[in-house]
Amino acid sequence: MENLSTNFLQQVCNLLDDARKNVKTAVNLSMVYTYYNIGRMITEEEQKGNDRADYGKYVLKELSLHLVERFGKGFSVTNLKQMRQFYMIYSKDQIGQTLSDQFENIPTVDTGRKFFLSWSHYLQLMRITNIDERHFYEIEAVKNDWSLSELKRQFNSSLYERLVLSKDKRAVARLASEGQVVESPQDLIKDPYVLEFLGLPEMPAYSETELESRIISNLQKFLLELGTGFTFVGRQVRFTFEEEHFRVDLVFFNRLLRCFVLFDLKIGELKHQDIGQMQMYVNYYDRKVKMPEENPTIGIILCKDKKQSIVEMTLPMNNNQIFASKYETILPSKTDLQRLLEQG
């Protein structure tokens, strides 16, 4: 008797994995909708009292005692307050149609508001007071299937502020309704990139080789920082030109833009020679590596320090292929970034 093919076995396993994931998702969403409706009922009951503040405290206390006795833990006064807050925020908070169109099979509540994430995700999102920023993180968490830890990491790294600083007003408005849209090379770029997960701040000095090795060791987290659509191709990818050997530090391919993305790592100040070297790498990939149906290669120089004037003077005015961005090895201050946004 022939052995079953590996492909067949994997397909059956994938089917079961998907089914279990769907069951878990359904349970999580059911909990979210239930908590939303509990929050609605608490709010409506509180409004019946003449002295709403005192009656509200009474409602929460008595309801908590009753629910804990019948259903066990999970219904403390604090938790009930969170459900009430959830209703009060999201009953007035309609997200754009982008996600709703993608997930038409997800049920709605009375208000027509759809939910896509777990209760833990929404507890994190409710702490964000800027409604545009809250919409952005909700959309990105759904689109990229972020876990709670990934959502927290992106928020703590000030992803929203970093993208806002690098975009015009029209593009900023799209962040709140569509999330990060990748339609051009500029849409991929962040400045700075935050690499706190590499664990480099405690090191008094490190080399470019050490920086690269840390990135490879934390490749999944680095891909999360890069954004949507990136696949890893290789490190120290060698090519030979005019009998000389050259190596590109990191090579990726972006599925959305259908192009190679090359990274060169610099631990010191960016020099114009570094930009010229990246220009050669990009030219080589465009002329010798990429397929005819693929788009022009993008080159990104990650450096610890850069002078924007040198970048602008070295590159052509209509440049849309080579970019220089700083990297930070510690989480940026959200306060400082918000101050920059206000100044802009």
Q: What is the pLDDT of residues 255-298, one digit of tens each?
A: 999 999 999 999 888 888 999 999 999 999 999 999 999 999 99
Reported confidence tier of residue 50, pLDDT bands at 50, 70, 90: low
Beta strands in 191-312 (DSSP E): 193-194, 230-241, 244-254, 259-269, 298-305
Instruction: Examine the pLDDT at 4 and tell me if it is beyond 60.
Output: no
The reply to whether 295 falls in a domain is yes
Regarding whether 328 and 207 lie in a shared domain, the answer is yes
Q: Taking the CA atoms of 85, 89, 90 and 91 in sequence, report the sign of the dihedral they define.
A: positive
Min mean pLDDT across 30-39, 87-96, 253-262, 270-279 is at 87-96
Mark which of 40, 70, 95 sits at the end of a domain: 95
CB 293 within 8 A of CB 233: no
The reply to whether 127 falls in a domain is no
Average pLDDT taken over every residue of the chain = 85
The reply to whether 46 falls in a domain is yes
The reply to whether 126 falls in a domain is no
Reported confidence tier of residue 8, pLDDT bands at 50, 70, 90: low
Mark which of 50, 66, 95 sits at the end of a domain: 95
Instruction: Examine the pLDDT at 250 and tell me if it is beyond 90.
Output: yes
The reply to whether 129 falls in a domain is no
Min mean pLDDT across 11-15, 69-73, 299-303, 306-310 is at 11-15
Regarding whether 199 and 325 lie in a shared domain, the answer is yes
DSSP label of 286? I
Mark which of 71, 95, 119 sits at the end of a domain: 95
| Percent of the chain clearing pLDDT 70 (strictly above) | 89
Residue 260: give the domain boundaries.
190-332
Average pLDDT over every residue of 116-122: 93
Reported confidence tier of residue 15, pLDDT bands at 50, 70, 90: confident
Average pLDDT over every residue of 38-61: 81
Regarding whether 89 and 202 lie in a shared domain, the answer is no
Question: Which pLDDT belongs to residue 311?
Answer: 79
Question: Which pLDDT belongs to residue 208?
Answer: 92
The reply to whether 235 falls in a domain is yes
Instruction: Examine the pLDDT at 98 and tell me if it is beyond 60.
Output: no
- Longest pairwise C-alpha distance within the chain: 87
Counting Cα atoms < 13 Å in the Cβ hemisphere of 198 gives 24
pLDDT greater at residue 244 or residue 313: 244
Counting Cα atoms < 13 Å in the Cβ hemisphere of 221 gives 17
| Percent of the chain clearing pLDDT 90 (strictly above) | 42
pLDDT greater at residue 331 or residue 97: 331
Average pLDDT over every residue of 193-212: 86
Instruction: Examine the pLDDT at 32 and tell me if it is beyond 80.
Output: yes
Question: Which pLDDT belongs to residue 175?
Answer: 86
Question: Which pLDDT belongs to residue 141?
Answer: 94
pLDDT greater at residue 332 or residue 263: 263
The reply to whether 60 falls in a domain is yes
Regarding whether 315 and 206 lie in a shared domain, the answer is yes
Per-residue burial over 157-174, b if 16 or more Cβ lie within 10 Å, else e, is: bbbbbbbbbbbeeebbeb
Average pLDDT over every residue of 47-53: 71
pLDDT greater at residue 74 or residue 151: 151
Regarding whether 194 and 89 lie in a shared domain, the answer is no
Regarding whether 321 and 197 lie in a shared domain, the answer is yes
The tokens of 135 are what? 């919409």
Q: Which residue has the tokens 């290669």?
A: 297
Residue 228 in 3-state DSSP?
coil
CB 281 within 8 A of CB 299: yes
> Residue 324: which region, alpha, beta or left (left: phi > 0; alpha: psi -120 to 50)?
beta
The reply to whether 148 falls in a domain is no
Reported confidence tier of residue 146, pLDDT bands at 50, 70, 90: very high
* Count of domains forming the chain: 2
Question: Which pLDDT belongs to residue 313?
Answer: 77
Q: Which amino acid is at 28?
A: N
CB 268 within 8 A of CB 304: yes
Question: Which pLDDT belongs to residue 173?
Answer: 79
Reported confidence tier of residue 316, pLDDT bands at 50, 70, 90: confident
